[in-house]
Structure 1
């Protein structure tokens, strides 16, 4: 069963990546820059550069270079923190947010194509099978997100 689920997820991931690469083909973005955009898209508020680096699992230098390139491209805004001018705060610009939305839509299109290949009964069965997993997953993700945010506050 585990192999079946991993195979299914791998199929969706590959299909989604193909669609995303179609959206990103004209852009000159590195993997670090794309990752930074997705992390920033998940944040409701600005992040300090060191917070972004932590969430990326990257060095401050790597995160700083990614932000610098994204700022030049108009995809991220950067400003000094009002309490500590040494701290730089970053967030996606409207253009950056629109680009991430395009990536998400491309991935959704890949999933839609996969689901459309199923019969009505197969779609119903898939939906029924996913419902309890997704319900538990949301609870776990919320708990993990809250723990991470509390840990982040403790470090500031």
Structure 2
């Protein structure tokens, strides 16, 4: 069984056909990409059981301990998404009964977003489960191996022309 996705195998075959000498490093890159894709797919499946995307989960998490809620634009900033994206995420979460929008009694233009009881319960339950699942992904590595892997990944980052994203637009 090969852990690489078919597209990566095809690219490696073409590189081999063209006589490129760095097939091992290409394969390693594709292994990292395949692992990231597999983690994303697994995450999506786990959250889909609760009618959530990763973006919706992040919103629940951000609102989890904020009884007073947050303004939508502040949620967008903290989640690392655009205002348009946050609107869609909030609409879906509100439709599913996980949050509600509340107008400010002094200024009706101000709206705060707060979790409902249903949303709070789900956020509490899922945050613990999701955190444990994420931690389990690398639990077969000992502390020294995790430090080494982290160090190696940081070295690869240094070779890129761009810096790591501080947030990405996910829905």
Tell me: higher relative CO, structure 1 or 2? Use CA pairs within 8 A at least 6 residues apart. 1
Unaligned runs of 5+ in 2: 1-27, 152-171
CA separation in 1, counterparts of 2:89 and 2:98? 11
CA separation in 1, counterparts of 2:40 and 2:131? 4
1:65 equivalent in structure 2? 88
Return the TM-score normalized by structure 1.
0.52
CA separation in 1, counterparts of 2:66 and 2:98? 15
Preserved contact between residue 48 and residue 89 of structure 1 (Cα < 8 Å): yes
Say whether 1:97 aligns with 2:97: no
| Greater share of residues in helix | 1
Deviations 1:87-110, CA, capped at 9 Å, x for gaps:
111122333233334255234234
Return the TM-score normalized by structure 2.
0.49
CA separation in 2, counterparts of 1:21 and 1:79? 29
1:76 equivalent in structure 2? 99
